[in-house]
Structure 1
Amino acid sequence: MSERHDNTRRVIEITESDLPLHCPMSQQSDWSAHPRVYLPIDTRGEVLCPYCGTLYRLKGQPSGGHH
């Protein structure tokens, strides 16, 4: 199954090396789909992009300083 489906939510797992997180990420095929927005990871380790609805989920727990 493809990672991208129009009009459906994508879930992308990220690691601390991807922080600070922005959407769209440079390596995504739709990197120019909307303005780049920096997203703070919440205490659950997730954040939803307000533009495209992509859910970013941090693998493991944030070590601090990236909220």
Structure 2
Amino acid sequence: MAELKENTARIIEVTAKDLPLHCPTPDMVAWNSHPRVFLPVAKNGGEALCPYCGTRYKLTGPLPHGHH
């Protein structure tokens, strides 16, 4: 079983395998800390900010084919 992460990081790096991206992510301890919101990180220049908790997500690496 994967270790759960605390929902306290303010900047989280994500990769193409994490798309479509939503916050909170399933591997966070407080996965139900606020309503799930999908974040358009690929369309926003590789960054997205969660409107509920303020966590900033940064996309690293290339996008998979089919994502715009």
- Same fold judged by TM-score > 0.5? yes
Does the C-alpha gap of structure 1 residues 27 and 3 become closer, same or farther in structure 2, counting only changes over 3 Å?
closer
TM-superposed CA distance for 1:35, in Å, is 0.3
Q: Give the % identical residues.
A: 53
Instruction: Provide the residue aligned with 1:36 in structure 2.
Output: 36
Q: Tell me if the contact between 2:7 and 2:30 (Cα under 8 Å) persists in the aligned partners.
A: no
Q: TM-score, normalized by length of structure 1? A: 0.77
SS of residue in 2 equivalent to 1:13: strand
TM-superposed CA distance for 1:38, in Å, is 0.5
Q: TM-score, normalized by length of structure 2? A: 0.76
What is the alpha-carbon root mean square deviation over aligned residues? Answer: 2.0
Aligned residues between the structures: 60
